[in-house]
Structure 1
């Protein structure tokens, strides 16, 4: 991890364009292109946005990005996650920012079966977020594991993976990481997203996190300056 000028420079939602685009594309079937998404974030131009649904989704993701930029956290809490989820008001849950209740029977269908974890309280979500990591664990790996743990817990009525991804990026911003964490996607290789989705489902159903963590290390982390995926070495992430 490099401690560069990420936090000392002026950051906008446009700087998280890849996070926003890939989150929308992988998790919510965004149809607008990467370039049109970036243009919308830079200028507000909606001429390239394909539908009202895409616009609502991108406005929500922009607001989530703005929130974590303005208030990045190195240590996450249930209250903070609720605040991220509360920005997803146009394309998310009926009750954004509120933890789901057990009686709602909210879950997700996967290729390995139905995943419907127990509903969490603020206390139990805080406990999940306070899971310790060995001191030698790189920040980027902690951020990836945080994404997986939040997504698997499904704490909200909707927008769980989006909330998880922005929470992970909040940690990266707070620690001035050189990297952002995106949802794995390639315009030229659809198997990257398929494998990621399947492996995330494995983490949900079988608690097997290793494959999805490897996917995000290889295809999710992006260097902000170079716009490229790093390679992992014994010294950390390099090019």
Structure 2
């Protein structure tokens, strides 16, 4: 059992997500090969263009911003229909059919070769989601399992990783458990972190065993705020005099 690391109210978690919107978009855009800096990402989120950044990359960032805003503000339950809504936003400019479930064969290029995902079974996906949400695991563990299940299932024609992250984030926010966001700069060289994640996700795709990547993500990518139990304020360390 992977216990929840953070215990916020839904409103506190929403505010935490809003305050980190640029960081979240900046990280998620890496799934599409977007390599903007944090300041460039902020400029695009603010509605301005950036020299040297393609219109395709700008569109990815803008739609990710809108996707995050939808997740943060949404009061509707976590369902397959909600996943369609989010995919329709984040994959608007890349997908053959944004927001529509995949009806044909797909594939994913990994560092271990080409992975062919299973055919989409709507009934099976609805059953999986219902059983997951009713399970005894912590919110964080459920969110991590959901995120990687959706990445492997490739339910949509495009934008599956982005959709998966946002679906998992909604579950985290709804229960005040923080956010899932792989910090690319934790080990100094972002390529080292990204390479490790790509190694683990490829292994998971082919084995369908998520234990390693769930544990790794739990250790490295869960972010949140510890609040003072009485005053409802973030914990702070005493100043040295």
5 Å matches for 1:166-185? 166-177=166-177, 179-185=178-184
State the alpha-carbon separation in 2 of the partners of residues 223 and 48 from structure 1: 33
In the TM superposition, residue 204 of structure 1 has moved relative to its aligned partner by 0.8
- TM-score normalised per structure 2: 0.80
Could you state the TM-score of these two structures normalised by the residue count of structure 1? 0.80
Aligned to 1:22: 27
Aligned pairs, number: 220
1 CA distance for matches of 2:36 and 2:212?
29
Higher relative contact order (CA 8 A, sep 6+): 2
Alignment of 1:45-194 (within 5 A): 45-47=48-50, 50-72=53-75, 76-102=78-104, 105-132=105-132, 134-135=135-136, 137-177=137-177, 179-186=178-185, 188-189=188-189, 190-194=191-195
Distance 1:61 1:14, change over 3 A: farther
4+ runs of 1 displaced by more than 4 Å? Answer: 7-14
Question: 1:129: how far off?
Answer: 1.6
- Structure 1 contact 39–45 (Cα < 8 Å) conserved: yes
- Match of residue 196 from structure 2: 195
- C-alpha deviation, 1:116, in angstroms: 1.5
DSSP-derived class of the 1:86 partner: helix
CA-to-aligned-CA distance 1:205-233 (integer Å, 9 cap, x gap): 0112122112211222222589xxxxxxx
Offset, 1:138: 2.3
8 A Cα contact 1:19 1:183, kept in partner: no
The unaligned stretches of length 5 or more in structure 1 are: 227-239
Larger Rg: 2
- Cα displacement string for residues 16-64 of structure 1 (whole angstroms, at most 9, x for unaligned residues): 3222111112x111121123213433x3233367221221110110111
Cα distance in 1 for partners of 2:94, 2:74 equals 21
| Pair 1:3-2:8 in alignment | yes
Deviation at 1:166, TM superposition (A): 0.4
